[in-house]
């Protein structure tokens, strides 16, 4: 397990990352966690006294990564941008995404849709699954399942599906 100290930083202007709070993981440290990796991978361990698991790293180029700190995690840490945190990290090799049964059934009905879904990165699979699982009503869940199936038919990733949905809403 790798131990580092880092400052919580915040993107002021950074395209889709604007407003994100994060900790920077330099290439030399990332390489100790997962050697020669240039794509997102999951970590587990602790940030200060808060246990984490299945947290995605985001590649920033040149082998550097960031770990985004969601509001829920910052609240547990009782820290915001500018504060220092201690991290104990290792690759989370046990992280597994559970595909909801209804999603798997919907995707299995179409030609190669389940295979397309499984070819997405784990983080993108997780975006779809979380979006579906956070639906508060059966009607909303059904709508989100339908959107996901249509996205797989069109070969869209999660962000493209959401943007297309927002455009349709504006046109209505």
Q: Return the bridge partners of 47, or none.
A: 50, 87
Q: Is residue 53 part of a domain?
A: yes
Q: Is the pLDDT of residue 139 over 90?
A: yes
Token pair listed for 20: 């994100």
Q: Which residue has the tokens 């559970």?
A: 98
- Is 96 a domain residue? no
71 vs 58: CA distance, rounded Å: 17
Same domain, 80 and 131: no
User: What's residue 140's pLDDT?
Assistant: 95
Task: Looking at the structure, tell me whether residues 105 and 130 fall in a common domain.
Answer: yes
Average pLDDT, the chain: 90
Q: How far is CA 36 from CA 57, 58, 65, 108, 126, in A?
A: 14, 15, 12, 35, 24
Domain end marker among 59, 91, 123: 91
Q: Please tell me the predicted confidence (pLDDT) of residue 167.
A: 82
Q: Given a cut of 80, is residue 13 above it in pLDDT?
A: no
pLDDT in tens, 59-118: 998 899 999 998 889 999 999 999 999 999 999 988 777 889 999 999 988 788 999 998
- Residue 19 in any domain: the answer is yes
Residue 19 confidence (pLDDT) above 90: no
Which of these, 115, 103, 112, 111, lies nearest to 146 by C-alpha position? 103
Domain extent, residue 39, equals 2-91
Half-sphere exposure of 137 (CA within 13 A, CB side): 3
**Whether residue 107 sits in one domain with residue 57:** no
Residue 172 confidence (pLDDT): 63
Most confident of 4-8, 100-104, 114-118, 159-163: 4-8
Q: What is the CATH number of the domain that holds 56?
A: 2.40.30.100
Does pLDDT of 136 surpass 70?
yes
Give yes or no: residues 81 and 161 share one domain: no
52, pLDDT greater than 90: yes
Give the model's pLDDT for residue 109.
Answer: 82
159 and 108, same structural domain?
yes
So what's the pLDDT on residue 141? 95
Same-domain status, 143 and 72: no
Which residue shows structure tokens 């339908």? 146
Same domain, yes or no: 60 and 82: yes
In this structure, is residue 51 part of a structural domain? yes
CA 106 remoteness from chain centre: 23
The CA distance from 64 to 25, in Å, is 6
Q: Total domain count for the chain? A: 2
């Amino acid at each position: 397990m790798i131990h580092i100290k880092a400052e919580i930083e915040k993107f002021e202007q950074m395209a889709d990352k604007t407003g994100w709070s994060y900790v920077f993981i330099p290439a030399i440290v990332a390489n100790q966690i997962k050697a020669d990796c240039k794509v997102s991978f999951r970590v587990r361990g602790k940030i200060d006294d808060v246990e984490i698991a299945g947290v995605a790293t985001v590649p920033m180029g040149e082998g550097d990564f960031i770990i985004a700190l969601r509001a829920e995690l910052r609240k547990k840490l009782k820290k915001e941008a500018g504060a220092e945190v201690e991290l104990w990290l290792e690759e989370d090799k046990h992280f597994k995404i559970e595909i909801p049964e209804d999603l798997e059934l919907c995707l299995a009905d179409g030609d190669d849709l389940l295979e397309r879904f499984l070819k997405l990165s784990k983080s993108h699979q997780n975006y779809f699954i979380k979006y579906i699982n956070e639906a508060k009503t059966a009607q909303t869940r059904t709508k989100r399942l339908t959107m996901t199936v249509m996205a797989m038919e069109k070969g869209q990733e999660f962000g493209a599906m959401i943007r297309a949905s927002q455009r349709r809403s504006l046109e209505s």
